[in-house]
């Protein structure tokens, strides 16, 4: 009986979706454009994270109330900054100098279309987009921390492991359901087409993996898996740092700060603090 109890203790337990929760929402418009995106305010809480390295203890992170985008950042929202669409026409060519804003990708980017998640993102591009968006809106936009991202993904619940095939198919684009005739290895899909999690957040798992900040304790990582991930690699805990093969075809030396030529499966979503940068304590 004791042995049976141990076996049952370590068997994987299928994850079930929590009941939907109504949270505060708001719509953000990028000034001088018609582009908007929606955000949800997460309640304060606490989350237990896996150890960064084998043998290290679990990490406990307290989560303050923050706003997080309901979808991954889209091409249309990213392109306003990346391609100088916020500038007068005469300034656009001059502004795209690969120092202040991204240059055009040196290889075609998968599905460069409005409504699609902005893919092939470096961590630098994602961070500087947040800086630009903060300046445009007067709010403090940034990437979520790993703890905030997992807290949002789990909707305050336990880790999302062992999602059954039906539930995963309803929530995420991944290797088994993303291939098309044109893209047999899979492709990104327009954001917000799958079911949201209980906090109203779409595509937290799959579609594009999302950059998060690790607080400087280690290199930034992407979370959640992507349209190229197999089912067992789609969960709230999966994480990966930058890999050199993500820029294998990039002919530049050093490699581009802006684009991952061979990682169309990497993107990001934005988070936002209530207080704007001008009122935040120094160093925060």
| Most confident region among 77-81, 110-114, 268-272 by mean pLDDT | 268-272
Contact 270/137 with Cβ under 8 angstroms? no
Q: Which two tokens stand for residue 143?
A: 């990437």
Higher pLDDT, 6 or 208: 208
Distance CA 184, CA 182 (A): 6
| CATH ID of 39-278, from 3.90.1580.10, 2.40.50.100, 3.40.47.10, 3.10.350.10 | 3.90.1580.10
Each residue's pLDDT tens digit, 31-49:
999 999 999 999 999 998 8
pLDDT at residue 85, as a whole number: 83
Higher pLDDT, 64 or 94: 64
Distance CA 30, CA 35 (A): 6
The ranges assigned to domains in the chain are 39-278
**Neighbouring C-beta atoms of residue 218, cutoff 10 Å:** 11
Distance CA 221, CA 198 (A): 24
pLDDT at residue 60, as a whole number: 85
Q: Which two tokens stand for residue 190?
A: 């327009």
pTM for this entry: 0.86
Distance CA 27, CA 245 (A): 37
Q: What is the mean pLDDT of residues 49-73?
A: 86
Q: What is the mean pLDDT of residues 142-160?
A: 92
pLDDT at residue 11, as a whole number: 34
Average pLDDT score, the chain: 84
Q: Which two tokens stand for residue 43?
A: 């309640």
Each residue's pLDDT tens digit, 178-207:
887 777 778 899 999 999 999 999 999 999
């Amino acid at each position: 009986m004791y042995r049976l109890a141990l076996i049952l203790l370590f068997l994987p337990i299928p994850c079930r979706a929590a009941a939907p929760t109504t949270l505060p929402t708001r719509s953000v418009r990028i000034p001088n454009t018609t582009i908007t995106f929606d955000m949800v305010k997460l309640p304060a809480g606490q989350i237990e994270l896996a150890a960064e390295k084998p043998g290290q203890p679990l990490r406990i992170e307290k989560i303050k109330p923050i706003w997080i985008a309901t979808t991954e950042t889209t091409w249309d929202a990213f392109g306003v900054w990346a391609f100088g669409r916020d500038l007068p026409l005469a300034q656009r060519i001059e502004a795209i100098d690969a120092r202040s804003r991204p240059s055009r990708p040196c290889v075609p980017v998968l599905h460069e279309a409005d409504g699609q998640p902005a893919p092939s993102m470096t961590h630098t591009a994602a961070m500087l987009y947040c800086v630009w968006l903060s300046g445009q809106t007067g709010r403090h936009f940034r990437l979520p921390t790993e703890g905030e991202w997992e807290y949002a993904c789990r909707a305050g619940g336990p880790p999302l492991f062992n999602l059954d095939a039906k539930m995963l198919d309803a929530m995420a684009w991944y290797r088994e359901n993303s291939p098309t005739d044109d893209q047999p290895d899979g492709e990104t899909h327009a954001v917000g087409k799958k079911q949201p999690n209980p906090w109203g957040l779409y595509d937290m798992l799959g579609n594009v993996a999302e950059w998060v900040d690790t607080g400087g304790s280690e290199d930034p990582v992407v979370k959640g898996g992507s349209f190229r991930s197999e089912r067992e690699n789609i969960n709230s805990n999966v994480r990966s740092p930058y890999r050199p093969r993500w820029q294998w075809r990039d002919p530049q030396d050093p490699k581009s700060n802006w684009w991952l030529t061979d990682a169309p499966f990497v993107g990001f979503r934005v988070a936002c603090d209530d207080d704007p940068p001008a009122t935040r304590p120094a160093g925060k």
